[in-house]
Amino acid sequence: MTIATLAEVLQPALSKGHAVAGLVTLGWEDMCAYVAAAEAEQAPVILQAGPSCRAHTPLPVLAAMFRHLAENASVPVVAHLDHGYSQEECRIAIDCGFTSVMYDGSRKPLEQNIEETGIIAEMAHKAGISCEGEIGFVGYANGEQSSGTIPEEAALFASRTGIDAMAISVGNVHLQTGKGSMLDENRIRQIEAVSTVPLVIHGGSGVPIEQRKRLARTSHICKFNIGTELRMAFGQALREAVDRDRSRFDRVEILRETYDPVMQAARRAIASMAHEA
């Protein structure tokens, strides 16, 4: 069994100069493709259950799916709750077998975010798993605007919460489908100067690939969340599968044809942040 906590994959990434892909899952087909991609690249992978995934699949079912895949994988697999918005949601995830939880208090005032994230981190650590928090707010393409992470607040947040990973807002945006803008490397260096906690970039699909590669190797960014580019690969493959034979109606037969394209897209994402020998 290769189930791992977030800290168990991010601390080696921090010390060896690479990052780990946090791949946003929506169903069984993409989960399987992601683990196969990680095995092909011989790299750890973080399977992430975000709000849209949880909206149609209960947490206990997701935990069982993640852990089943981990049991049969040859690389470390993290079962991660992405954007948990309540203590109860995080508690359920911990109780049913997730090995990492992210509590998102980024929309709340600093002191409230620190207090609530600290409670979740303590709960997670008592269960022997990891906790990620977010300071600053990462906005959404064509939606809520970002609020950049203030380095001094990041230092306070990291030291007082005891988190294992810190998501930051440095020009990254969720749900970016087109060419994204460059991350603010100056702000990243300022945050690195005041904290040793592994850093996380949400909205990694919007980060230009060359910058993603460089920061994975030269900064404290140890985790890039990748969702949109993988969902786009799935959607394109699904449309092509349907169009190839419109008389087909068997969902298993149709969905099978999304596996290779999604696996290859996941391989590219994982390879873009892997350690270079």
pLDDT in tens, 47-83: 999 999 999 999 999 999 999 999 999 999 999 999 9
d(CA 268, CA 176): 17
d(CA 24, CA 39): 17
The number of CA neighbours under 13 Å toward the Cβ of 262 is: 30
Contact 63, 98 (CB under 8 A): yes
pTM: 0.95
Looking at the annotation, which residues are catalytic? Answer: 82
Neighbours of 267 (CB within 10 A): 20
Q: Is 223 helix (H, G, I), strand (E, B) or coil?
A: strand
Q: Which residue has the tokens 């969702």?
A: 227
Q: At what angle do helices 28-41 and 59-71 cross, to 10 degrees?
A: 30
**pLDDT value at residue 161:** 98
CA angle 262, 231, 168 (to 5 degrees): 115
Q: Which residue has the tokens 């954007």?
A: 83
Neighbours of 97 (CB within 10 A): 18
d(CA 133, CA 84): 10
Kindly state the tokens that stand for 12.
């080696």
The number of CA neighbours under 13 Å toward the Cβ of 254 is: 17
**pLDDT value at residue 171:** 85
> Phi/psi at 174 (nearest 5 deg)?
-70, 150
- The CA R_g of the chain, rounded to the nearest whole Å, is 18
Contact 150, 136 (CB under 8 A): yes
Contact 30, 269 (CB under 8 A): no
**pLDDT value at residue 277:** 41
The distance of Cα 233 from the centroid of its chain, to the nearest Å, equals: 17
Closest CA to 39 of 277, 270, 232: 270
Contact 131, 163 (CB under 8 A): yes
Per-residue pLDDT of the chain (277 residues; tens, 9 = 90+): 589 999 999 999 999 999 999 999 999 999 999 999 999 999 999 999 999 999 999 999 999 999 999 999 999 999 999 999 999 999 999 999 999 999 999 999 999 999 999 999 999 999 999 999 999 988 887 777 778 899 999 999 999 999 999 999 998 888 776 776 789 999 999 999 999 999 999 999 989 999 999 999 999 999 999 999 999 999 999 999 999 989 899 999 999 999 999 999 999 999 999 865 4
* CATH ID of 3-271, from 3.20.20.70, 3.40.50.2300, 2.60.40.10, 3.40.50.80: 3.20.20.70
**pLDDT value at residue 89:** 96
d(CA 115, CA 246): 54
